[in-house]
Structure 1
Amino acid sequence: MLEWIVVNSWVFWLALFLILAIIEMMSLDLYFVMLSGGALAACFVALAGGEFWLQALVFCVVSLAMIFILRPIAIRHLRKGPPNQRTNVDRLLGQDALVLEPTSRMSGRAKIGGETWSARTDDDAPLDPGMYGTVVRISGATAFITARPNQAHAAGHGA
Protein backbone atom coordinates (compact mmCIF):
# COMPACT_ATOMS: atom_id res chain seq x y z
CA MET A 1 0.00 0.00 0.00
CA LEU A 2 2.76 2.44 0.93
CA GLU A 3 4.55 1.60 -2.32
CA TRP A 4 1.39 2.40 -4.32
CA ILE A 5 1.12 5.78 -2.58
CA VAL A 6 4.75 6.59 -3.39
CA VAL A 7 4.34 5.53 -7.03
CA ASN A 8 0.99 7.33 -7.39
CA SER A 9 1.77 10.20 -5.04
CA TRP A 10 0.04 12.69 -7.34
CA VAL A 11 -3.26 11.15 -6.16
CA PHE A 12 -2.27 11.80 -2.54
CA TRP A 13 -1.36 15.43 -3.27
CA LEU A 14 -4.52 16.00 -5.30
CA ALA A 15 -6.67 14.55 -2.51
CA LEU A 16 -4.83 16.70 0.04
CA PHE A 17 -5.39 19.74 -2.18
CA LEU A 18 -9.14 19.08 -2.30
CA ILE A 19 -9.44 18.38 1.43
CA LEU A 20 -7.55 21.55 2.35
CA ALA A 21 -9.64 23.59 -0.11
CA ILE A 22 -12.85 22.29 1.49
CA ILE A 23 -11.55 23.11 4.98
CA GLU A 24 -10.70 26.62 3.75
CA MET A 25 -14.25 27.10 2.49
CA MET A 26 -15.50 26.38 6.00
CA SER A 27 -12.90 28.42 7.92
CA LEU A 28 -12.22 31.37 5.56
CA ASP A 29 -9.00 32.27 7.35
CA LEU A 30 -6.68 32.00 4.31
CA TYR A 31 -4.35 29.42 5.87
CA PHE A 32 -5.75 26.25 4.38
CA VAL A 33 -5.92 27.73 0.87
CA MET A 34 -2.19 28.47 1.14
CA LEU A 35 -1.54 24.87 2.20
CA SER A 36 -3.72 23.62 -0.66
CA GLY A 37 -1.58 25.69 -3.04
CA GLY A 38 1.48 23.88 -1.71
CA ALA A 39 -0.26 20.52 -2.21
CA LEU A 40 -1.09 21.48 -5.80
CA ALA A 41 2.55 22.41 -6.44
CA ALA A 42 3.64 19.06 -4.98
CA CYS A 43 1.09 17.33 -7.24
CA PHE A 44 2.74 18.91 -10.30
CA VAL A 45 6.18 17.76 -9.09
CA ALA A 46 4.77 14.24 -8.66
CA LEU A 47 3.31 14.30 -12.18
CA ALA A 48 6.71 15.43 -13.50
CA GLY A 49 8.30 12.36 -11.90
CA GLY A 50 9.97 14.00 -8.90
CA GLU A 51 10.95 11.90 -5.89
CA PHE A 52 8.61 11.87 -2.89
CA TRP A 53 11.10 13.77 -0.70
CA LEU A 54 11.22 16.52 -3.35
CA GLN A 55 7.43 16.63 -3.48
CA ALA A 56 7.27 17.04 0.31
CA LEU A 57 9.95 19.74 0.18
CA VAL A 58 8.05 21.64 -2.54
CA PHE A 59 4.85 21.34 -0.48
CA CYS A 60 6.57 22.82 2.58
CA VAL A 61 8.41 25.61 0.76
CA VAL A 62 5.45 26.71 -1.37
CA SER A 63 3.02 26.55 1.57
CA LEU A 64 5.28 28.59 3.86
CA ALA A 65 6.04 31.12 1.12
CA MET A 66 2.35 31.58 0.44
CA ILE A 67 1.52 31.92 4.15
CA PHE A 68 4.23 34.48 4.88
CA ILE A 69 4.21 36.41 1.59
CA LEU A 70 0.88 36.02 -0.19
CA ARG A 71 -1.49 35.80 2.80
CA PRO A 72 -0.63 39.23 4.27
CA ILE A 73 -1.10 40.82 0.85
CA ALA A 74 -4.43 39.05 0.37
CA ILE A 75 -5.67 40.10 3.81
CA ARG A 76 -4.66 43.70 3.14
CA HIS A 77 -6.67 43.66 -0.10
CA LEU A 78 -9.67 42.05 1.56
CA ARG A 79 -9.76 44.74 4.24
CA LYS A 80 -9.21 47.51 1.74
CA GLY A 81 -12.16 49.68 0.96
CA PRO A 82 -13.12 53.29 0.60
CA PRO A 83 -11.87 55.20 3.64
CA ASN A 84 -15.34 56.56 4.35
CA GLN A 85 -16.95 53.11 4.24
CA ARG A 86 -17.19 51.82 7.78
CA THR A 87 -19.06 48.70 8.76
CA ASN A 88 -20.91 47.35 11.79
CA VAL A 89 -20.60 49.50 14.90
CA ASP A 90 -17.71 51.50 13.41
CA ARG A 91 -20.24 53.33 11.28
CA LEU A 92 -21.87 54.69 14.46
CA LEU A 93 -18.75 56.49 15.68
CA GLY A 94 -19.26 60.23 15.39
CA GLN A 95 -23.03 59.83 14.92
CA ASP A 96 -25.59 61.89 16.81
CA ALA A 97 -27.19 60.24 19.83
CA LEU A 98 -30.55 61.41 21.19
CA VAL A 99 -30.60 60.84 24.95
CA LEU A 100 -33.78 58.99 25.97
CA GLU A 101 -33.10 58.50 29.70
CA PRO A 102 -30.85 60.39 32.10
CA THR A 103 -27.38 59.24 31.09
CA SER A 104 -24.29 59.20 33.29
CA ARG A 105 -21.13 57.13 33.63
CA MET A 106 -23.28 54.39 35.24
CA SER A 107 -26.44 54.11 33.13
CA GLY A 108 -28.58 55.57 30.41
CA ARG A 109 -30.25 55.04 27.05
CA ALA A 110 -29.88 56.80 23.73
CA LYS A 111 -31.22 56.50 20.21
CA ILE A 112 -28.42 56.12 17.66
CA GLY A 113 -29.06 55.55 13.97
CA GLY A 114 -32.70 54.64 14.62
CA GLU A 115 -31.85 52.03 17.28
CA THR A 116 -32.02 52.26 21.05
CA TRP A 117 -28.69 51.59 22.78
CA SER A 118 -27.63 51.40 26.38
CA ALA A 119 -25.48 54.46 26.79
CA ARG A 120 -22.94 55.92 29.18
CA THR A 121 -21.26 59.29 29.18
CA ASP A 122 -17.57 59.31 28.39
CA ASP A 123 -16.99 62.27 30.70
CA ASP A 124 -18.36 63.45 34.05
CA ALA A 125 -21.17 65.58 32.59
CA PRO A 126 -24.54 63.80 32.82
CA LEU A 127 -26.95 64.14 29.90
CA ASP A 128 -30.66 64.76 30.27
CA PRO A 129 -33.42 63.29 28.05
CA GLY A 130 -33.85 65.28 24.84
CA MET A 131 -30.20 66.33 24.67
CA TYR A 132 -27.96 65.26 21.84
CA GLY A 133 -24.52 63.79 22.17
CA THR A 134 -21.90 62.31 19.91
CA VAL A 135 -20.86 58.65 19.92
CA VAL A 136 -17.15 58.44 20.74
CA ARG A 137 -16.78 54.68 21.20
CA ILE A 138 -18.72 51.43 21.43
CA SER A 139 -17.95 48.70 23.93
CA GLY A 140 -20.06 45.58 23.54
CA ALA A 141 -23.68 46.76 23.44
CA THR A 142 -22.96 50.07 25.16
CA ALA A 143 -22.38 53.35 23.36
CA PHE A 144 -20.22 55.95 25.07
CA ILE A 145 -21.31 59.46 24.24
CA THR A 146 -20.22 62.99 25.02
CA ALA A 147 -22.38 66.08 25.07
CA ARG A 148 -22.22 68.34 22.07
CA PRO A 149 -20.05 71.37 22.84
CA ASN A 150 -23.02 73.76 22.82
CA GLN A 151 -24.87 71.51 25.32
CA ALA A 152 -21.92 70.63 27.60
CA HIS A 153 -22.24 73.89 29.53
CA ALA A 154 -26.02 73.46 29.92
CA ALA A 155 -25.58 69.88 31.12
CA GLY A 156 -23.18 70.96 33.83
CA HIS A 157 -25.60 73.61 35.15
CA GLY A 158 -28.74 71.54 34.74
CA ALA A 159 -27.75 69.12 37.52
Structure 2
Amino acid sequence: MDWLSEHAWAAWLGVAAVLGAAELVSLDLVLIMLAVGALAGGVSAALGAAVVAQILIAGVASIAMLALVRPGLVAKLHQGPELRLGHSKLVGQRAVVTQRITGLNVGQIKLAGETWTAAPYDEHITIEPGATVEVFEIRGATAYVHPVAELGE
Protein backbone atom coordinates (compact mmCIF):
# COMPACT_ATOMS: atom_id res chain seq x y z
CA MET A 1 0.00 0.00 0.00
CA ASP A 2 2.89 2.38 0.62
CA TRP A 3 4.06 1.93 -2.96
CA LEU A 4 0.62 2.79 -4.32
CA SER A 5 0.33 5.92 -2.19
CA GLU A 6 3.81 7.03 -3.30
CA HIS A 7 3.18 6.23 -6.96
CA ALA A 8 -0.49 7.15 -7.29
CA TRP A 9 0.43 9.33 -10.28
CA ALA A 10 1.53 6.18 -12.13
CA ALA A 11 -1.79 4.48 -11.38
CA TRP A 12 -3.67 7.53 -12.71
CA LEU A 13 -1.44 7.54 -15.78
CA GLY A 14 -2.23 3.86 -16.33
CA VAL A 15 -5.96 4.52 -16.03
CA ALA A 16 -5.64 7.39 -18.52
CA ALA A 17 -3.75 5.16 -20.97
CA VAL A 18 -6.35 2.39 -20.73
CA LEU A 19 -9.20 4.87 -21.23
CA GLY A 20 -7.37 6.47 -24.16
CA ALA A 21 -6.85 3.08 -25.81
CA ALA A 22 -10.50 2.13 -25.22
CA GLU A 23 -11.54 5.41 -26.89
CA LEU A 24 -9.87 4.23 -30.08
CA VAL A 25 -12.40 1.41 -30.17
CA SER A 26 -15.51 3.33 -29.12
CA LEU A 27 -14.87 6.67 -30.92
CA ASP A 28 -17.66 8.41 -28.99
CA LEU A 29 -15.39 10.94 -27.21
CA VAL A 30 -16.56 9.93 -23.73
CA LEU A 31 -13.64 7.78 -22.65
CA ILE A 32 -11.07 10.32 -23.81
CA MET A 33 -12.76 12.93 -21.63
CA LEU A 34 -12.51 10.54 -18.68
CA ALA A 35 -8.85 9.97 -19.58
CA VAL A 36 -8.22 13.71 -19.32
CA GLY A 37 -9.84 13.60 -15.89
CA ALA A 38 -7.51 10.75 -14.93
CA LEU A 39 -4.55 12.82 -16.09
CA ALA A 40 -5.75 15.67 -13.87
CA GLY A 41 -5.89 13.22 -10.97
CA GLY A 42 -2.37 12.10 -11.85
CA VAL A 43 -1.06 15.65 -11.84
CA SER A 44 -2.67 16.28 -8.46
CA ALA A 45 -1.12 13.05 -7.15
CA ALA A 46 2.31 14.10 -8.44
CA LEU A 47 1.88 17.42 -6.62
CA GLY A 48 1.18 15.55 -3.37
CA ALA A 49 -2.59 15.92 -3.01
CA ALA A 50 -4.48 13.53 -0.75
CA VAL A 51 -6.27 10.57 -2.35
CA VAL A 52 -9.70 12.11 -1.74
CA ALA A 53 -8.55 15.34 -3.42
CA GLN A 54 -7.16 13.35 -6.35
CA ILE A 55 -10.47 11.59 -6.85
CA LEU A 56 -12.41 14.86 -6.60
CA ILE A 57 -10.10 16.62 -9.05
CA ALA A 58 -10.32 13.72 -11.51
CA GLY A 59 -14.11 13.66 -11.20
CA VAL A 60 -14.54 17.41 -11.62
CA ALA A 61 -12.16 17.49 -14.61
CA SER A 62 -13.99 14.57 -16.24
CA ILE A 63 -17.41 16.14 -15.75
CA ALA A 64 -16.12 19.51 -17.01
CA MET A 65 -14.67 17.86 -20.13
CA LEU A 66 -17.91 15.95 -20.77
CA ALA A 67 -20.09 19.02 -20.26
CA LEU A 68 -17.98 21.76 -21.82
CA VAL A 69 -15.62 20.27 -24.40
CA ARG A 70 -17.31 17.15 -25.77
CA PRO A 71 -20.49 18.81 -27.15
CA GLY A 72 -18.46 21.24 -29.24
CA LEU A 73 -16.19 18.50 -30.55
CA VAL A 74 -19.11 16.25 -31.46
CA ALA A 75 -20.86 19.10 -33.25
CA LYS A 76 -17.66 19.96 -35.13
CA LEU A 77 -17.14 16.34 -36.19
CA HIS A 78 -20.74 15.87 -37.33
CA GLN A 79 -20.69 19.11 -39.31
CA GLY A 80 -19.08 18.40 -42.64
CA PRO A 81 -17.85 20.90 -45.14
CA GLU A 82 -20.31 22.38 -47.58
CA LEU A 83 -19.79 20.40 -50.74
CA ARG A 84 -20.81 22.10 -53.92
CA LEU A 85 -19.82 19.99 -56.86
CA GLY A 86 -19.85 20.53 -60.59
CA HIS A 87 -21.31 23.64 -62.10
CA SER A 88 -23.31 24.53 -59.00
CA LYS A 89 -20.13 25.80 -57.35
CA LEU A 90 -19.96 28.54 -60.00
CA VAL A 91 -23.42 29.94 -59.25
CA GLY A 92 -23.07 33.22 -57.38
CA GLN A 93 -19.56 33.92 -58.64
CA ARG A 94 -18.65 37.00 -60.60
CA ALA A 95 -17.27 37.01 -64.13
CA VAL A 96 -16.19 39.51 -66.77
CA VAL A 97 -17.96 39.75 -70.13
CA THR A 98 -15.54 39.18 -73.02
CA GLN A 99 -18.09 39.15 -75.86
CA ARG A 100 -21.36 41.13 -76.02
CA ILE A 101 -24.36 39.31 -74.54
CA THR A 102 -27.91 39.95 -75.73
CA GLY A 103 -31.23 38.19 -75.43
CA LEU A 104 -30.92 37.07 -79.05
CA ASN A 105 -27.21 36.24 -79.18
CA VAL A 106 -25.18 34.44 -76.59
CA GLY A 107 -21.84 35.96 -75.70
CA GLN A 108 -18.87 34.90 -73.65
CA ILE A 109 -17.58 35.51 -70.13
CA LYS A 110 -14.38 34.75 -68.28
CA LEU A 111 -15.43 32.69 -65.25
CA ALA A 112 -13.05 31.01 -62.83
CA GLY A 113 -10.25 31.29 -65.37
CA GLU A 114 -12.27 29.67 -68.16
CA THR A 115 -14.23 31.06 -71.09
CA TRP A 116 -17.93 30.24 -70.89
CA THR A 117 -20.85 30.77 -73.22
CA ALA A 118 -23.21 33.19 -71.55
CA ALA A 119 -26.74 34.47 -71.98
CA PRO A 120 -28.53 37.19 -70.04
CA TYR A 121 -30.76 35.96 -67.22
CA ASP A 122 -33.14 38.75 -68.21
CA GLU A 123 -33.51 38.31 -71.97
CA HIS A 124 -34.42 41.98 -72.47
CA ILE A 125 -31.02 43.39 -71.52
CA THR A 126 -27.72 43.74 -73.35
CA ILE A 127 -24.43 43.39 -71.53
CA GLU A 128 -21.33 44.94 -73.08
CA PRO A 129 -17.75 43.56 -72.93
CA GLY A 130 -15.85 44.53 -69.80
CA ALA A 131 -18.95 44.51 -67.61
CA THR A 132 -18.92 42.51 -64.39
CA VAL A 133 -21.72 39.98 -64.11
CA GLU A 134 -22.93 37.50 -61.54
CA VAL A 135 -23.77 33.93 -62.50
CA PHE A 136 -27.40 33.23 -61.61
CA GLU A 137 -27.74 29.77 -63.17
CA ILE A 138 -25.92 27.28 -65.36
CA ARG A 139 -27.84 25.19 -67.87
CA GLY A 140 -25.71 22.78 -69.84
CA ALA A 141 -22.66 24.72 -70.96
CA THR A 142 -24.29 28.16 -70.80
CA ALA A 143 -24.05 30.51 -67.86
CA TYR A 144 -27.06 32.76 -67.32
CA VAL A 145 -25.78 36.02 -65.93
CA HIS A 146 -26.96 39.41 -64.73
CA PRO A 147 -24.90 42.61 -64.53
CA VAL A 148 -23.59 43.61 -61.14
CA ALA A 149 -24.64 47.10 -60.09
CA GLU A 150 -21.52 49.18 -59.51
CA LEU A 151 -21.39 51.55 -56.56
CA GLY A 152 -22.60 55.01 -57.49
CA GLU A 153 -25.04 53.88 -60.17
TM-score after normalising by structure 2: 0.52
Structure 2 CA distance for aligned equivalents of residues 12 and 82 of structure 1: 41
Structure 2 matches for 1:83-94, cutoff 5 A? 83-84=82-83
The residue that corresponds to 2:66 in the other structure is: 67
The residue that corresponds to 1:128 in the other structure is: none
Give the drift of 1:83: 3.6
The residue that corresponds to 2:7 in the other structure is: 8
Output the amino acid matched with 2:59.
Answer: C
Structure 2 matches for 1:130-141, cutoff 5 A? none
Output the amino acid matched with 1:65.
Answer: A
Give the drift of 1:3: 3.0
Structure 2 matches for 1:143-158, cutoff 5 A? none
The residue that corresponds to 1:45 in the other structure is: 44
Output the amino acid matched with 1:32.
Answer: L
Q: Which runs of 4+ in 1 moved over 3 A?
A: none
The secondary structure found in structure 2 opposite 1:81 is coil
The secondary structure found in structure 1 opposite 2:65 is helix
Structure 1 CA distance for aligned equivalents of residues 13 and 21 of structure 2: 12
Output the amino acid matched with 1:71.
Answer: R
Give the drift of 1:4: 2.0
Query: Between Structure 1 and Structure 2, how many residues are aligned?
Result: 84
The residue that corresponds to 2:24 in the other structure is: 25
The secondary structure found in structure 1 opposite 2:36 is helix
Output the amino acid matched with 1:38.
Answer: G
TM-score after normalising by structure 1: 0.50
Structure 2 CA distance for aligned equivalents of residues 18 and 29 of structure 1: 16
Structure 1 CA distance for aligned equivalents of residues 68 and 20 of structure 2: 19
The secondary structure found in structure 2 opposite 1:17 is helix
Output the amino acid matched with 2:37.
Answer: G
Task: Extract unaligned runs of 5+ from structure 1.
Answer: 86-159
The secondary structure found in structure 2 opposite 1:82 is coil
Output the amino acid matched with 2:71.
Answer: P
Output the amino acid matched with 1:81.
Answer: G
Structure 2 CA distance for aligned equivalents of residues 5 and 60 of structure 1: 20
Output the amino acid matched with 2:13.
Answer: L
Give the drift of 1:71: 0.5
Sequence identity of aligned pairs in percent?
A: 35
